[in-house]
Amino acid sequence: MQDPKDVLEMERVKSDGVSWIKRPTGGRAVLHFEDITYSCVFSKSLRFMGTSVQESYRIITRGLIEGLNKIGVICQAHDSYDQLHEVKREVKLPCFLAPNRDEIMVDGRKLVGSAQRRCTTGVLQHGSIPISDYYRKLPEYLNISDKEREIQRKLLQRKSVSLDELKIDVSVGTIIAALKAGFEESFGLKSVTQSWSNDEIAAIEKNISPENHSKIT
Helix (H) or strand (E) holding 97: none
CA distances from 54 to 114, 169, 180, 196, 216 (A): 12, 32, 22, 30, 24
Helical packing angle, 146-159 and 81-88, nearest 10°: 170
From 40, 75, 95, 119, active-site residue: 95
What pLDDT score was predicted for residue 124? 96
What pLDDT score was predicted for residue 26? 80
Q: What is the pTM of this model?
A: 0.85
Calculate ∠ Cα 174-80-100, nearest 5°: 80
What pLDDT score was predicted for residue 40? 95
Read off φ and ψ for residue 168, nearest 5 degrees.
-90, 95
Average pLDDT over residues 17-38: 89
Per-residue DSSP letter, 132: S
CATH number at residue 104: 3.30.930.10
The per-residue pLDDT of the chain, averaged, comes to: 88
Higher pLDDT, 41 or 84: 41
What pLDDT score was predicted for residue 215? 44
Lowest-confidence segment of 57-71, 92-106, 190-204 by average pLDDT: 92-106
Q: Is residue 95 flagged as an active site residue?
A: yes
Q: What's the domain count of the chain?
A: 1
pLDDT band at 99 (very low <50, low <70, confident <90, very high): low
- Strand pairing category for 103-106 and 122-130: unpaired
Lowest-confidence segment of 49-58, 61-70, 202-211 by average pLDDT: 202-211
Average pLDDT over residues 86-115: 77
What pLDDT score was predicted for residue 216? 40
pLDDT band at 133 (very low <50, low <70, confident <90, very high): very high
Average pLDDT over residues 134-159: 94
Average pLDDT over residues 45-74: 96
Domain limits at 99?
4-215
pLDDT band at 217 (very low <50, low <70, confident <90, very high): very low
- Asked whether residue 129 carries a pLDDT value surpassing 80, the answer given is yes
- Asked whether residue 41 carries a pLDDT value surpassing 90, the answer given is yes
